[in-house]
Structure 1
Amino acid sequence: MNKDSLRINELFYSLQGETCTVGLPTVFIRLTGCPLRCTYCDSAYAFSGGDRLSLDQIIAQVQGYKAWHVTVSGGEPLAQPAVFELMARLCDLGYEVSVETSGALPVNNIDVRVMKVVDIKTPGSGEQQRNLYENFKYITAKDQIKFVICHREDYDWAVACMSEYDLTSKCEVLFSPSYEELKGVELADWILTDQLNVRFQLQLHKILWGDVPGK
């Protein structure tokens, strides 16, 4: 595989819809391809297609926007080896970089300047068995761990996982309701009832634009 280029499904400018940078103007680099098939996936269109671009071409497109936040997403971005070099080069240029990963591939080679957003797969995702718990060793205080909750069983599982691995001592933990599958108010009530030390989040981009790609 070419280590100087990446297959890009889309590159666009929008507001960050999740994590601690929610609401900030951000350049999104969505890579093509993913080895997982989560039931709630909202970017299945990124499983194939796209254009192969050199790292220089990608960076040039990023520099065309007046934003200093860049999110590398997918698909599963870590499935393409050249992504590590891309993220390091973006950091060298002064960008605040985050990567959204499924947690099914190793994160230890990610540049330490990059904020890792690791999505731990709940049973409702259908891909729970793909979780690579070894990744928790490489989580730092600047990173974020996310659970997408489909139903009460997912919630209970996520709470148990969070406790078993003492995740809130490592970084901020995010609980997000699966879009159009679990009502946000239900998840919010569960969190408050149990007095969890987590951040409840909704997907701002979905609220604003629905399922429109490139938003």
Structure 2
Amino acid sequence: MNLKLSENFFSIQGEGPFSGYPTFFVRLYGCNLKCLWCDTLYAREGDRYYTLNVNEIIEIWEKNYSLSPYITITGGEPLLQTAIYPLIEKFLAKKCIVSIETNGSLSLKDLPSQVVKVVDLKTPSSGMAEYNLYENISFLNSKDVIKFVIQDRKDFEFALKKIKDLDLLSKTQVFFSPVFEKLSPKELAKWILEIKLPIRLQVQLHKLLDLK
């Protein structure tokens, strides 16, 4: 089965529960949302993609990066392409630690339980909050992550309401990430400390290190 890729690369994971680990990234092409602050427009616009089959992707990892078991499948929106499922199964069979980064608008029900799911709940500043698929929360556990990308205080208050209304902290990890160059990590840290909830501040480590 073939997949449309925007890129594949090896870098330091800058986000999520495995931040800091050397990771093989498979960035798939195409997205069903148009977030206003999207930082990977090239993964959804202009038909800039190439095609690899599942075995070719596995071979790239095996030949070049297999000393690190960390695999991240991202996008775009990776769940748009059904061939991710055999890809995930092959990585899992090789004892890899697989995470998927998804925009939260498509169902997670068919993902294997071993996959670490990093799921956006879109905030008002994204312009896409109406597409949040809240039933996905039932497919998450303590190893997974709900991520809110925060641009301003309105986003922050929106996220707090969702955390309370959906009882998120009893179900999974919750991360707040500031929109790059829109809200300072220091300011967001102050807000998190004020509310005293076990919410994890996430900065985009790869951007601080000037890495992909």
Q: Structure 1 residue 9 and structure 2 residue 10: aligned?
A: no
Paired with 1:166 and 1:83, the residues of 2 have a C-alpha distance of: 30
Aligned to 2:134: 133
2:37 to 40, 44, 48: 40
Name the count of aligned residue pairs: 208
The alignment's C-alpha RMSD in Å is 0.9
- Structure 2 unmatched ranges of 5 or more: none
Aligned to 1:62: 61
Could you tell me how far 1:50 is from its partner in structure 2? 1.3
Paired with 2:17 and 2:84, the residues of 1 have a C-alpha distance of: 22
Aligned to 1:192: 193
- Structure 1 unmatched ranges of 5 or more: none
Paired with 1:180 and 1:88, the residues of 2 have a C-alpha distance of: 37
- Deviations 1:88-134 (Å, cap 9, x if unpaired)? 21011110000000000000101111000001100010000110001
Alignment of 1:1-215 (within 5 A): 4-47=1-44, 48-63=47-62, 64-65=64-65, 66-209=67-210, 215=212
Could you tell me how far 1:49 is from its partner in structure 2? 1.7
Paired with 2:51 and 2:15, the residues of 1 have a C-alpha distance of: 27
Q: Which residue identity does 1:49 align to in structure 2?
A: R
TM-score by length of 1: 0.95
State the identity %. 43
Could you tell me how far 1:87 is from its partner in structure 2? 0.9
Q: Which residue identity does 2:23 align to in structure 1?
A: T
Tell me which stretches of 4 or more aligned residues in structure 1 moved more than 3 Å. Answer: none
